Chain A
């Protein structure tokens, strides 16, 4: 993982000092809220229903155990003993006091963490695959480029006051685990026909009121040109993005209104004037960043040790966990472990300080001190030796994060919703909780197979409901909570927006509807191994619509 040096530490420390001054000026009245608000947003400080919320950046979802311990400590000291992992690989604290924020930020800064640019009209956390660096199907570690870009856009003088936020994702694997095409800018590394590696550049994705999938504006960009090309895109957006209407201010609207070709031409014209300047990435610059990533000192281990198979036979619980939470590592003898933060009746993505400390300890003992956060709101231990799996499972189970429901119907992705968020129209967490209760039977979940449920409490779509296999969107109908249901969305390399199946249903019926959809799938599928999403694709939503609305 990336190691901060004196420059990184200095920048973060100076940022904390600046914010401490800004908070003091706010509390003394020297700064009005109108002046203070964009400043606090640039540090990830929101105002929610009950309190301020601090969003702390976890760059490309990578954490050290020391950092995770500090996240736990901040939860205990300044919040209510827990944190929430988000769909952008960040963490949120829901109960922060403004007056205490500078101290909390200083604590986080001591382990190289901050909330810079987790909010505001700037470039946000650059996200990637939670299996970066260890996935068998990746070409190179995407985090190198994510870090290069992260540094470049941090406190960038030109791009700190853009029309709206700007979200970037980087992917380098065959299977897209980073939901690339729902981002403002996606960079997909691949090998072309000539065997060269370069980036497909896609712009204009985004969910919310007007969902779009990103369009390819440059099929093959040399690595050398990544920073200058990103600069050209940001400059084009900064100058021509709409500023008259906050709902039309994202780059997806600009791409849509100009058309992808015209947008690409603007970018290209700008790019040509800067591409050979000081943003050209020479090998030394890339090597410098790459060199600051520390990789584990892996051992040479045998794959699939016999004890593992024996343990699976001996214990059904371990076997279930192995079959669900453990994925192949690119190296023999190692494994990628997902720790589910989706317990029955729990809040998706929440972890207590106790759980965070436990995972940090386990990471030290079994994962070379490294943890990942996925956009599906689960945690990952990326470097686990297979011989450690049994012991690891017992310890994860002891703190409630070994539920073998990853990618199953109870592995719900959900925003915080009206229980926390001032933008929400409806609650999302109780909906998620009820669904997990209805499907608590793991045999049923396994029979249903991979089934992504995404819940958003408002049209801002922080739960990514548009790209859920089952998408649930909370709306306000005359003061009552109602929910629109979509089917058939996908967030992977075949990204698709879901289809609305009918009128919104009331709060009390949403879990019933999900049960009806699941039952319909079981009847409609051609084979037990035809995935839910493939059945929906084959049959269309009509048979599901009929089933759901037959009695409503």
Chain B
């Protein structure tokens, strides 16, 4: 989980997506193949080489009106084709903090990220 803000050279060793935060409200979004952004990881464009990642990043960086701070994030591909976060940081970004929020009206359930089941994405 070394902060990807320190990424310099693009090195791709497995399936990756490009993710960022929506400009208006900071919500987590993923770059789609058609050049837009989605809340859903399953809708993200998944690439497996540096050239593909570079293409996605170039598009993302040019779209800073809609999303901020794009970077390349690892994913895992489930046998059924679903896209899962590839590390703890991305799990947390998608699913929210792993702790109960002090005052949430619907307190977010405590999550045990050692379980292999995907967590539900944020509403």
Q: Judge A-B direct contact (beta carbons within 8 Å).
A: yes
- Chain A residues proximal to chain B, CB less than 8 Å: 26-27, 29, 32-34, 47-52, 75, 80-82, 96-99, 346-347, 350-354, 418-420, 422-427, 429-430, 433, 458, 476, 479, 481
Question: B74's closest neighbor in chain A, by CB?
Answer: A479
Q: Is B65 touching A97 in the complex (CB atoms < 8 A)?
A: no
17 contacts between A and B (CB under 8 A): A26-B23, A27-B23, A27-B24, A34-B64, A47-B69, A49-B92, A50-B26, A50-B93, A51-B26, A52-B25, A80-B103, A81-B102, A81-B103, A424-B1, A424-B3, A425-B2, A458-B3
- Chain B residues proximal to chain A, CB less than 8 Å: 1-3, 5, 21, 23-28, 64-65, 68-69, 87-89, 92-93, 96-99, 101-105, 122
Once bound together, how far apart are the Cα atoms of A42 and B122, in whole Å?
Answer: 30
Please name all residues of chain B whose beta carbon is closer than 8 Å to the beta carbon of A430 when the two chains form the complex: 98-99
Question: A423's closest neighbor in chain B, by CB?
Answer: B3
Once bound together, how far apart are the Cα atoms of A351 and B101, in whole Å?
Answer: 10
> Do A481 and B88 contact each other (CB < 8 Å), given the known contacts A51-B25, A352-B102?
yes
Number of A-B residue pairs, CB cutoff 8 Å, is 99
Once bound together, how far apart are the Cα atoms of A422 and B69, in whole Å?
Answer: 11
Please name all residues of chain A whose beta carbon is closer than 8 Å to the beta carbon of B3 when the two chains form the complex: 422-425, 458
Q: Is A429 touching B99 in the complex (CB atoms < 8 A)?
A: yes
Please name all residues of chain A whose beta carbon is closer than 8 Å to the beta carbon of B104 when the two chains form the complex: 80-81
> Do A481 and B25 contact each other (CB < 8 Å), given the known contacts A82-B101, A418-B88, A429-B99?
no
Once bound together, how far apart are the Cα atoms of A344 and B92, in whole Å?
Answer: 23
Taking the closest CB of chain B, its distance from the CB of A185, in whole angstroms, is: 27
Is chain B's interface secondary structure helix, strand, loop, or mixed overall?
loop
Q: Is B21 touching A47 in the complex (CB atoms < 8 A)?
A: yes
Taking the closest CB of chain B, its distance from the CB of A48, in whole angstroms, is: 7
Q: Which of the residues B1, B27, B105 comes within 8 Å of A50, measured between beta carbons?
A: B27
> Do A99 and B103 contact each other (CB < 8 Å), given the known contacts A33-B64, A476-B2, A481-B1?
no
Q: Is A350 touching B102 in the complex (CB atoms < 8 A)?
A: yes
Please name all residues of chain A whose beta carbon is closer than 8 Å to the beta carbon of B1 when the two chains form the complex: 418, 424-426, 476, 479, 481
Once bound together, how far apart are the Cα atoms of A272 and B105, in whole Å?
Answer: 59
Please name all residues of chain B whose beta carbon is closer than 8 Å to the beta carbon of A29 when the two chains form the complex: 65
Q: Which of B21, B26, B88, B92 neighbours the largest number of chain A CB atoms within 10 Å of its CB?
A: B26
Taking the closest CB of chain A, its distance from the CB of B61, in whole angstroms, is: 9
Q: Which of the residues A82, A99, A427 comes within 8 Å of B24, measured between beta carbons?
A: A99
